[in-house]
Every structure is written in C-alpha cells, then in structure tokens.
C-alpha cells in the first residue's frame, strides 16, 4: 500500500497541534496529568506504508490522577508523552501494565477547521418524542453544527481497546472557538439501537441527536481517489462541552504532491482550551460510574 501522502501529513500535524493544546490545558488543572499514548507516524509520499493487523486502535491520550502516580511515573509523563522508548523501558521492568491501569480515562482527539460558534445549526436541538408524534419526518439529516464524528471502523477498534485495558474512552472533537466530548460507550449504545430497529432509525436519530451516514472522503493530493465510510455524528446538543478555545492563529501553507500538483493547507497554531469544570466532572464521573466495570 502506498504512502498516505501530503494530505495525511497535514492532518497528522494538525492533530498533533490539537492534542498538544488539549494536553497543556488538562495539565493546568494540576490534579490531572495527560500524555500522548497512541503512536502514529508520517510516511513520506511515494514510499510504502505497512498497516498493522491489530484489532485495537490506541486512543491518542491517557489521563491520570497525579496523586496516584509514582515519582518516576510523573517524571516519564511530565513531557506530555509516553514514547515507544518509555514503553519499552517500563515493559522491561514489568511496570507498563501497572501504569496503564492507573489511567482513569483515555481520549481520542479530533479537530475540524470550523468556527464552531458561528455554524448555522450550532444551537440545534433534538426533537422531543411528543413533537415527533405530532410531525414524523421521512429523513434524518444531521445539522450543520460543530458535531463530533466517529468512523465505524475506529469505533470497533477503540471499543476493543477499551474492553481489554478497562479504561473508558471519550472522543474529544476540537474546533476553532469550542470543543465537545462524548463517551465512546454512548456511541456504541446508539449503534446497537440503530442496528436493532431498521424501521425506527429516522426517529432514533432525530430524537437522540446522534446520526449515522455514509461519508465520502477524498484525498486532496490524489486525482479521483476517494472512499466511502460509515460514520456516526454526535451533535453538540447531546455532547459535553469541553470548553471554549481562545487565541488560535490561522495561516496558509503551499505544498506539492507526488504528482507535482500544488496543494494548499490551512495551518493552525497557538490557542488554549479553557477547560470547563463540567468537563472535569464528566471525566471523573466516567471513573466513578464505570471505569472499572468494563471487564
């Protein structure tokens, strides 16, 4: 399989920026320590890329309570990442499973280049059951809002990781201006209900505020290359707000693809997530209400 290309490299760098902003903001809470966990790399365009056959997808970040970590563990995580070298060292000493067991929640971080607060349907709300009965709809169409997106292929592998390591995962989706989160278990529960009742799917979507669709993904640097993937869309109305995002700087960058096509990208830098107290309560609630009941 060929390398992922310049478009993937750009998305990778943008994701790393979003993760870094989230780590910095969570670590300012002092009682929490967040660190990168999921490992991803960029393959130069035109070179071969070998995908692993693991049944898991590692979440991007792990979050710990600072007081539960040893001095060595706090030192390792102090730079905001659990690198391969760190993992090998801990695994050699037999301490890696112990450290993973101390994580009380994991985050899968996404970013979309939209001004969240100004999107057309930012304040869209699901239909109540009584309103649905008064006027049923023929189709379910997700609102144009700062929605959280979860690919079905990622859901399966993240759920497998969550069950194996007994750490609940949330999906955190960052935008310019705002950020939102949803528990992975909630998306999984929606999928079960969606699959169990094909005739009730429209009603389920518009009354829960979670939608399912097939989304076409195009590569900006590959002529005609695209693929369709099933996704789940969680509206902000039923998500937990992480907080507001301030100070993001936006610029443009010009690149050249393997086919010598000029490709432009939007570059994001700076910024800070103002973590809401409700989001911290949401994280701690996951720990208290199920972090250790997934086995």
Predicted confidence pLDDT, tens digits, the chain (295 residues): 344 455 667 677 888 888 888 888 888 876 789 999 976 544 444 444 444 456 889 999 999 998 899 898 888 888 788 888 888 888 887 888 889 889 999 999 999 999 999 999 999 999 999 999 999 999 999 999 999 999 999 999 999 999 999 999 999 999 999 999 999 999 999 999 999 999 999 999 999 999 999 998 776 555 556 788 999 999 999 999 999 999 999 998 888 777 788 878 888 889 899 999 999 889 888 876 544 433 2
User: Which residues have a Cβ under 8 Å from the Cβ of 257 and sit 6 or more positions away?
Assistant: 5, 6, 45, 221, 222, 263
The pLDDT of residue 50 is 43
Tokens 């208290």 appear where? 288
Tell me whether residue 229 is in a domain. Answer: no
Tell me whether residue 234 is in a domain. Answer: no
Distance CA 209, CA 238 (A): 6
Tell me whether residue 192 is in a domain. Answer: no
Domain that holds residue 168: 6-117+152-185+239-288
Distance CA 222, CA 5 (A): 8
Distance CA 158, CA 184 (A): 8
Distance CA 38, CA 109 (A): 10
Give CA 84 to chain center in angstroms: 21
**In angstroms, what CA-CA distances link 6 with 66, 109, 215, 219, 286?**
38, 21, 21, 9, 37
Tell me whether residue 133 is in a domain. Answer: no
Q: How many domains does one find in the chain? A: 1
């Amino acid at each position: 399989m060929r390398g992922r290309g310049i478009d993937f490299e750009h998305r990778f760098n943008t994701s790393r920026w979003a993760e870094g902003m989230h780590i910095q903001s969570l670590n300012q809470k002092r009682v929490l320590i967040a660190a990168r966990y999921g490992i991803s790399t960029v393959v130069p365009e035109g070179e071969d890329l070998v995908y692993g056959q693991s049944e898991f997808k590692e979440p991007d970040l792990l979050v710990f309570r600072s007081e539960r970590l040893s001095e060595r563990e706090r030192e390792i995580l102090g730079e905001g990442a659990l690198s391969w070298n760190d993992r090998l060292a801990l695994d050699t000493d037999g301490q890696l499973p112990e450290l993973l067991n101390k994580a009380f929640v994991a985050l899968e971080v996404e970013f979309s280049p939209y001004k969240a607060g100004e999107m057309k349907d930012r304040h869209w709300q699901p239909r109540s059951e009584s309103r649905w009965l008064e006027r049923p709809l023929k189709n379910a169409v997700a609102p144009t809002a700062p929605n959280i997106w979860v690919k079905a292929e990622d859901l399966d592998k993240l759920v497998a990781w969550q069950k194996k390591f007994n750490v609940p995962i949330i999906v955190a989706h960052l935008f310019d201006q705002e950020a939102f989160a949803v528990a992975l278990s909630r998306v999984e529960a929606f999928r079960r209900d969606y699959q169990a009742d094909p005739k009730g799917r429209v009603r389920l979507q518009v009354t829960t505020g979670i939608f399912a669709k097939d989304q076409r993904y195009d590569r900006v640097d590959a002529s005609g290359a695209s693929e369709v993937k099933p996704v789940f869309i969680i509206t902000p109305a039923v998500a937990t707000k992480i907080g507001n995002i301030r100070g993001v700087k936006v610029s443009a960058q010009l690149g050249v693809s393997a086919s010598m096509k000029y490709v432009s990208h939007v570059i994001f830098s700076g910024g800070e997530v103002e973590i809401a107290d409700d989001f911290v309560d949401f994280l701690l609630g996951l720990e208290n209400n199920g972090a250790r009941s997934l086995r």
